[in-house]
Amino acid sequence: MSGVLLIEQALNGLQFGLMLFLLAAGLTLVFGVMDMINLAHGSLYMVGAFLAAWLVGLTGSFVLSVLGAVALTGMFGMALEAGLLRTLYARDHLSQVLATFALILILNDGVKMVFGTDLPLSAPAALAGPVELFPGFQYPAYRLLILGVGLALAVALYLLVQKTRMGALVRAGASNRPMATAMGVNIRALFTLVFGIGAALCAVAGALLGPLLAVQVGMGENILILAFVVIVIGGIGSIRGALVGSILVGCIDTLGRTGLQQVFREFLPPQWASAAGPAIASVAVYVFMAAVLAFRPQGLFPARS
Amino acid sequence: MAARAPGANADRPDVPALKVGAGATAITATTHLDRTLAIVFVIAALALPFILDALGAGYYLSLASRIVIYAIAATSLNLVLGYAGLVSFGHAAFVGLGAYATGILVSEGVVGSGWHLLATVAVTGLAALTIGAISLRTRGVYFIMITLAFAQMLFYLANSVKGYGGDEGLNIKARSVLGFGAFAIDLKNPLALWYVAVAVLGASLLALARFGPSRLGRAVLVLRDDDVRAEALGFPTYRLKLLVFVVAGVLGGVAGALSVNLQGYVSPNVLHWTQSGTLMVMVILGGVATVWGGLVGAATLLLLQEVLAAYTEHWEFWTGWVLLAVVLFARQGLVGLLGSARRSVAERR
């Protein structure tokens, strides 16, 4: 593989990893602090993408639409948490699986009723072309935007969790919830807000990835499982772990898809090489997770003391 | 315990403690097969094709067969998830492997003499042994995730095997033929498939009912409720879990083999995580750790979809609401709900 292609794929991997992080951040906090398996987290990503695509149709402005979708999805997430998910925290994992699986069905079909099975969403025209990063290396401007937004949000979230009072309370909850509650932290109220932020981050990922992938019903289901893989690798409840895990998973997945294809092309017929590459890359992520679990069962950055 | 009302012990005051760190619960599981229900099951199984024929609704036999096949898969999952308390989120792996093992053999022209059954049992048993041996070293949430990971690996593998349909799936023209000579049963005949499927389901339910009160079953229930204590008491917990995992995997594989015979088609979608999720939903909906839970859950979910689909294009939406209502209001699944209704009627008398 040539150097230029390698850099391009590494950037793609980083970009996908950062978007995964936006999903994983909310998921890991819900899982880590509330001990709640939320299968419907991917549906928030879908809702965000559909809202953005719908708003673009209304307003014509990509930026406004993304901001609107983020705000609406955040509010929707808070309503969902306060109205339903909150009652599930005390229930066993099986009830949570059943309830959030039901939510997937409801949201998938609900979105289909309102918006149809898919909506067109394209990158803003100003960012459609490539940018020359250095002589001889061009990279799509829109992907660069995703990279920038992802990095900025990752830093902001890191500062929020590590440096603010709210972040300290959330970390206390992830480390030992009964103790945090006993010390007077109102975890419930705090958590409605945390869930809203998590939902808003899902919407950012959905809206930004929409033009690259496709805005369609069921788009959240595969990325949800990747987000679960990320938080298990990173350590449940740990934002830092989610960031490292996301970038690792994003790079393994993206580099595997193209890199392995190149390798296979050397000794396999082309139609096999193009099929085996993506398949093995998808499997590689899970093999990596199994290996991490075998050597560090608590993940790379365990949140619980 | 002799004067136990039928179905009374389906009403369990406690929910199985599957959450890591939750306190130990008493040993609970519906351990006996209600005799009346068993007789009803046998009569219904024998008579259903004729009843449907008489009503001129013979085409519903395929739906009934689908329910029975899903019930087998859900019952096998209930053994792992309910009785052994191992929340496997990758049960579709075994159903899918069974379907592919049979589908590939049939598409290669190997049709007769139960080779498929042997291959299905061998493939799913070996897979369950491997996946179980690795996954059972983890616990709680990590077990959920690692079983899911293995199923996803198989999903992507099936997508990439272009020789057997790849992501488009594999169509088979012939079907399995069980037995030989004059006793050969061709599963191409819908009636034959129905009777084989209900026989497998009936045998599974009977085995599950016998398993609960057996020494082995008691040991498994002990380790579900507190596996540290079970280990301290000298139970070989790891081997017990692995045994249950493998038996359930093989039974799931048999369900898969039957489903490919019913539909004549298998695609990677049978391995997708939402399929594992659907099986879990059936078990939880019906009743965790109950003999009838798998059947009740599968029948309820599939019939609900069928009925709703007749009225609205958006049946998923309404199915979701029904499931939510079950989570919020019927905490022990439908079998638990029926059990407590029966008991409250009995108490009022």
Chain A partners of B314 at a C-beta cutoff of 8 Å? 109, 112-113
Higher pLDDT, B23 or A269: A269
DSSP annotation of B174 reads: S
Count of alpha carbons within 13 Å of A186, Cβ hemisphere only? 4
- pLDDT category at B18 given cuts 50, 70, 90 is very low
Quick check: B327 and A110 CB within 8 A?
Answer: no
- pLDDT confidence of residue B246: 97
Given an 8 Å threshold on Cβ–Cβ distance, is A93 in contact with B19? yes
B contacts of A112 (beta carbons < 8 Å): 314
Per the prediction, chain B carries an average pLDDT of: 83
Distance from CA of A179 to the nearest CA of B (A): 15
For chains A and B, CB pairs below 8 A equal 135
CB-CB: which of B152, B159, B316 is closest to A225? B152
Lowest mean pLDDT among A69-78, B311-320, B339-348: B339-348
Tens of pLDDT, residue by residue over B164-191, are: 877 788 888 777 777 666 667 778 888 8
CB–CB contact B314 A113 (8 Å): yes
Which residues from B are below 8 Å from A108, CB to CB? 316
The highest-confidence range among B17-31, B81-95, B105-119, by mean pLDDT, is B81-95
Q: DSSP per residue over B214-228, as a string? A: SHHHHHHHHHHH-HH
Local confidence band at B23 (pLDDT 50, 70, 90 cut-offs) = very low
Percent over 70 (pLDDT), chain A = 96
pLDDT for the residue B159: 85
pLDDT score, position B341: 66
- Average of per-residue pLDDT across B66-79: 96
Q: Which residue in chain B is spatially nearest to A93 when comparing CA positions?
A: B19
Lowest-pLDDT range of A24-33, B244-253, B278-287, B318-327: A24-33
* Cβ–Cβ below 8 Å for B160 and A280: yes
Task: Name the one residue in this structure whose structure tokens are 């929707």.
Answer: A76
Here the contacts of A259-268 (C-beta below 8 Å, separation 24 or greater) are A259/A1, A259/A9, A262/A1
ipTM exceeding the 0.90 mark: no
Give how far B58 is from chain A: nearest CA, Å: 30
Closest Cβ opposite residue B166 in set A275, A282, A297: A275
Q: Which of A84, A94, A223 to mutate to test the interface with B (most CBs of B within 10 A)?
A: A94
A300: tokens are: 């790379």
**Mutation target among B28, B136, B274, B275 for the A interface, most CBs of A within 10 A:** B274
pLDDT at B17 over 60: no
Residue A260 or residue B86, greater confidence: B86
B64 pLDDT higher than 90: yes
Percent with pLDDT over 90 in chain A: 41
Report chain A residues whose CB lies below 8 A from the CB of B149. Answer: 229, 286, 289-290
Higher pLDDT, B217 or B335: B217
* pLDDT of residue B11 exceeding 50: no
Q: Do A286 and B277 touch (CB under 8 A)?
A: no
- Domain range annotation of chain A: 7-119+133-295
Chain A interface disruption, residue of B152, B159, B290, most A CBs within 10 A: B152
What percentage of residues in chain B have a pLDDT greater than 70?
Answer: 85
Residue A305 reports pLDDT greater than 60: no
Q: What was the pLDDT predicted at B299?
A: 95
Q: Tell me if A95 and B146 make a contact (CB, 8 A cut-off).
A: no
CB contact under 8 A, B327 and A271: no
Give the chain A residue whose CA is nearest to the CA of B149.
A286
pLDDT tens digits for range A187-221: 888 889 989 999 999 999 999 999 888 899 989 98
Rounded to the nearest integer, the mean pLDDT of chain A is 87
B218-259: pLDDT as tens digits: 888 888 888 888 888 888 889 999 999 999 999 999 999 999
Third-level CATH fold of A7-119+133-295: ABC transporter involved in vitamin B12 uptake, BtuC (1.10.3470)
Chain-centroid distance of CA B218 in Å reads: 21
**H or E element, residue A15:** helix A3-34
Pick the residue of A34, A37, A109, A288 with the most B CBs within 10 A to test the interface with B by mutation. A109
Question: Is A230:A250 a contact under the CB 8 Å cutoff?
Answer: no
- A303 pLDDT higher than 80: no
pLDDT for B145 equals 86
3-state secondary structure of B185: strand
CB atoms within 10 A of CB A220: 28
CA–CA distance, A70 with B66 (Å, rounded to integer): 42
A95/B152 Cβ within 8 A? no
* Residues B73, B260 contacting (CB under 8 angstroms): no
- The mean per-residue pLDDT over the stretch B298-321 comes to 91
Q: Using the beta-carbon criterion (under 8 Å), do B15 and A31 form an inter-chain contact?
A: no
pLDDT-derived band at A274, boundaries 50, 70, 90:
low
Q: For residues B27 and A180, give the distance between their C-alpha atoms in angstroms, rounded to a whole number.
A: 33
Phi, psi of B266 (to 5 degrees): -140, 135
Q: Which pLDDT band, with edges at 50, 70 and 90, does B6 fall under? A: very low
- Among B15, B149, B281, select the one facing A101 at the smallest CB separation: B281
**What is the identity of the amino acid at A159?**
L
